[in-house]
Chains A and B, each alone.
Chain A
Amino acid sequence: MADRTVCVSTLSLKPGARLAQAVRRADGGLLLAAGTEIDIDNVQQMIQRGIEVVHVLQEETRDAAQIERDVAAAVERVAQLFRGASSDARNELAAAVTDYRRRAAS
C-alpha cells in the first residue's frame, strides 16, 4: 500500500524517518531535500533552527477494513465532542473537523 504523508513535531522525530517534503531554512534556502532519510544530527539541526514541524512519509500497514473502522471511530469522536446545542459557526467547524478527521484516518 502507498505511504501516507503526516505532519509531525521535530521533537518527536525518530532517526530513519523519510521526509515527504523538503525542509527549508528561514531564508528559503534548502536545508534537507524531500526523500532524505533523517539522522539524529538532522533532527538536532532542525530543532536548533526553530523548525517545529516537518512532513514525513508513514508506511500504511492497515487493511481496508481497519481503515474503515478507524474512519468511523474518528467521525464518531467528533460527533461526541460536538454534542449539544450549536450555532452556524459551530456547525461549520464541526463539518470542517469531521472532514479533516475522515481524511487523516483514511
Chain B
Amino acid sequence: MTAPYTIEQVLARAAALPALPQIVARILDMLGDDEVNAEALSKHIISDPAVVVRLLAAANAGAVGASGRVDSVRQAIMLLGVSRVRDITLATAIIDRFNAKPPFDARRLWLHSVGVAICAQEVARIAGLNVDVAYTAGLLHDVGQLLLFAVDPEAYARVLTLRAEGDIDIVDAEREQLGVDHARVGGELARLWKLPEAVADAIAAHHVTDDSEPENEMADAVHVAEVLSHALNLGGGEGARVPRLSDLSCARMGIDWRQLAVHFPLIEARFIGARITLGL
C-alpha cells in the first residue's frame, strides 16, 4: 500500500498500533467532575509506569519540588493539582506511546499541542464553551500526524520536507503527498478510541478552510487557538509560520483580537508553567 491513501486505509493500519491506554478513558471520564480527588486519581495512575515517571519528574521540577523530594504519586497529585496531573497523564499516555522517531519531532509536537491546549482553554472561556473539552481537544488536535507518520514514515518525511521547502501549511503538504490530512484522520482515530464526541469532532474540523464545513463551535475554538499559538510562537521553532485563519470561524466566535490580546500575557505565562511541569 502506497500513498495516496484513503482515510479507511489509514485507520485499518491504526489497528496495529498500541491500544488507547485505559488510563486515558478513565481520565477523560473525570473531565468536568468537580468531585475528583487525589485518592481516586492516584488509584488509576499507579497502574501506568510511564505516567508515574513523568508525574514524579514534574513534581520535583522547578519551584514545586523546591521544598523536598516527592516520591509518591499521591504526594505529587497534592502538589501539582488535579488539572496538571490530568494534562501530564493525557500527554504521556498518548503522545509518548507513538514513539515517533526523527524526522518526526515528537517533542515539538507535544510542545505545540500544549500551547494550543492553553490557547483553546482561553478562547473557550471567553466564548462560554466547556474549557476542559477545549483543553483536551487542543492537546490531542494533531494526533492524526502521529498516526500518519506511523502508517508511512517515508511518505510523511516527504510531507515534512514539502512543508519546509514550500513554506506551506502542513495540511496542504499532507493532502498533496498522502491524499488525506491529519485533522480528518485524527478525528476518526479519536472516534475509534471512543474519545468524547465533542473532542473527536473538534479534532476532525480544526483546519476549517471554507463555509462548506458544518458549524462546530469547539472546532472553531481549536482552529482559532492553533493559529493563535503560532502567532504567539508557543513552541513553534525556527521555521514557524502562522497558518491560514478562517474569517468565518472568527466571525462565528465573535473574536475581537484587540480584546483577546489582554489575555496574551496570561497565555504565555501558563505555557511557560506547562513547559516546566512537563519537562519540555
Contact = CB atoms under 8 A, between A and B. Distances in A.
Nearest to A91: B245
B244 interface: yes
* The 10 A-B residue pairs with the shortest CB-CB distance in the complex, in nearest-first order: A9-B273, A7-B265, A96-B257, A89-B250, A90-B245, A53-B269, A11-B273, A11-B276, A96-B261, A7-B269
Given A12-B276, A84-B167, A90 B227 contact: yes
A22 interface: no
B212 interface: no
Contacts of A8: 269, 272
B79 interface: yes
Nearest to B273: A9
A30 to B, nearest CB: 20
Contact of B276 (A9, A53, A89, A94): A9
B167 A81 contact: no
A58 interface: no
A44 interface: yes
A95 B257 contact: yes
Contact of A87 (B62, B66, B247, B257): B247
Contact of B272 (A9, A77, A82): A9
Contacts of A99: 258, 261
Contacts, number: 113
Interface string B210-247: 00000000000000000110111100100011101111
A94 B220 CA distance: 19
Contacts of B62: 11-12
A83 B233 CA distance: 13
Interface of B: 61-64, 66-67, 78-81, 83, 167, 227-228, 230-233, 236, 240-242, 244-247, 249-251, 255, 257-258, 260-261, 264-266, 268-270, 272-273, 276-277
Interface in A5-45: 6-13, 40, 43-44
Interface residues of A, number: 36
A92 to B, nearest CB: 5
A73 interface: no
Contacts of A7: 265-266, 268-269
Given A9-B272, A53-B269, A100 B63 contact: no
A97 interface: yes
A47 interface: yes
Contact of A9 (B66, B83, B240, B270): B270
A85 B209 CA distance: 14
A12 B274 CA distance: 10
Contact of A10 (B236, B268, B273): B273
A84 B277 CA distance: 34
A83 B223 CA distance: 19
